[in-house]
A and B are shown apart, each in its own frame.
Chain A
């Protein structure tokens, strides 16, 4: 069974530029999570989807961040414009049932 796929794995951009991350969850997993992990910190939830519905986006900075999950499968997380403080690892995870999560390898973003 293929795991959670994320791309790109690494991204370097200049501040004020837009950036997008893509996540393909495990087939059949209806719940999808996007996390932000700053250096020295644990992952923090940005948004959680149940199928195509965003059920928890309270921690998503909506002035510059947006996300979508078309057809309840793949998801894209976008930042526009990026700021220096957005440099972090962006993790995607998916699950089929409660009390489990399968993570992708993350996208490491560096904003110069």
Chain B
């Protein structure tokens, strides 16, 4: 089992605040790191796939970084909005089709 850990488990932020979450994973045999956003009653949505050490990806106000040598990834949300409220999951793949998920970070953005 490849343990992927996420922190914090949950957090509440005020609208307009910036926030970040952490995903930690075993650095050996790394293939790719995925971030998903899962809104209540909807399908998990892929945000980023990162494969290279030092990768940085950005989509609007959301960005992510990757450190494969030390085994962590950060997800940043700038200027949080209520629609950002969701559970953010990270997953590590050892090969391209075996996904190991963390427990997720539940974000609530308070208007």
Contacts and interface: CB of A to CB of B under 8 A. Distances in A.
B99 A45 contact: yes
A98 B4 contact: no
Interface residues of B, number: 27
Interface stretch (B14-22, B36-44, B77-85): B36-44
A103 B44 contact: yes
B103 A42 contact: yes
Interface string B1-27: 000101001000000000000000000
A33 B103 CA distance: 18
Interface in A76-112: 91, 95, 97-106
Nearest to A9: B41
A4 B89 contact: no
Interface string B53-88: 000000000000000000000000000000000000
A105 B46 contact: no
Contacts of B96: 97-99
A103 B43 contact: yes
Contacts of A41: 103
B29 interface: no
Contacts of A95: 97
B41 A105 contact: yes
A99 B91 CA distance: 11
B49 interface: yes
A46 to B, nearest CB: 12
Interface of A: 3-4, 31, 33, 40-45, 48, 56, 91, 95, 97-106
